Structure formats: structure tokens, C-alpha cells
Structure 1
Amino acid sequence: MLTIFIATFAIFLLVVFGMSLGVLIKRKTLQGSCGGISALGMEKVCDCPEPCDARKKRMARAAQRQNRIL
């Protein structure tokens, strides 16, 4: 049983190493899938009517940066 676990773990390590090596060689950033939540018609992950305080701060900073650019 332990040999199956070790073999499976080694295979997973090889796959993760191969994927990371591919990312390093291509010099591309990791990207999300096409569509995602917006494909479901949702604008955000939670269905809360009002965003949390941390999100409000991020939105305010983004709006300030946008205003400086314009």
C-alpha cells in the first residue's frame, strides 16, 4: 500500500514539475479559463448585495488610479 502511495506521489511531483518547467520556459503568466463566472451571468463570486470592506477599499483605490490617468 505504501509503495502505491509513494509511486502516485512521485507521479504527481513529476507532473507539477513538468508544468512549472513549461511555464518558466515560455515566460508566460498563468491565466484563468475562458469565461469563468462571467459565463454564468454573475459579476462576482458571492451573491452579496453589498461588497465587503476590503473590496470597497480596492474599488476606491482603483477608481482613484483611473481618475489620475484621465
Structure 2
Amino acid sequence: MIFLYTLIIFALFFLLAGIGYIFQKKVINGSCGGLANVGVDKVCSCEKPCFKRRIKNKIAELRGDKGQD
């Protein structure tokens, strides 16, 4: 019975969110600042990242430097 109530509540939420989107054309936004506000600077917190992570970090660093020239 609790499952049925929960299912109905979720269905109503999505229905109302859909109706709100149709009328206002506004999407649900994320939190203000995301993880930066709680002190998480990066996803990978390893002291020595794996090879794939180092490559991704280097590519991101190079892409960021290109925009500042």
C-alpha cells in the first residue's frame, strides 16, 4: 500500500512539473554553485591519478589555456 501511495505522489509530481514546464517554459535548475560550495574541487581526489585521468586533465588544461590567448 505504501508503494502505491509513493507511486501516486511521484506521478503527481512529474505531472505537475510537466504542466509547469508547458506553461512557463522554465526548466528545473541545479543548486547554486554546485559542489564548489561544499569544498569539492574535483571529482578525482587521488594523490596520483591514473593515466587516463592525467590525459583528461592535461587536455582540459590545454583547452582552457587556448581561450586565454
Give 1:20's match in structure 2, choosing from 18, 23, 28: 18
CA–CA distance in 1 between the matches of 2:27 and 2:50?
A: 28
Given the two structures, how large is their TM-score scaled by the length of structure 1?
Answer: 0.53
CA–CA distance in 1 between the matches of 2:51 and 2:25?
A: 35
| 8 A Cα contact 1:23 1:29, kept in partner | yes
Tell me: CA distance 1:19–1:52, structure 2 relative to 1, closer, same or farther (3 Å): farther
Deviation of 1:69 (Å): 8.7
Given the two structures, how large is their TM-score scaled by the length of structure 2?
Answer: 0.54
CA–CA distance in 1 between the matches of 2:41 and 2:11?
A: 36
Identify the residue that residue 40 of structure 1 maps to in structure 2: 38
Give secondary structure in 1 for the equivalent of 2:9.
helix
Deviation of 1:29 (Å): 3.6
Percentage identity across aligned positions? 30
C-alpha root-mean-square deviation of aligned residues, in Å? 3.5
* Corresponding pairs, count: 66
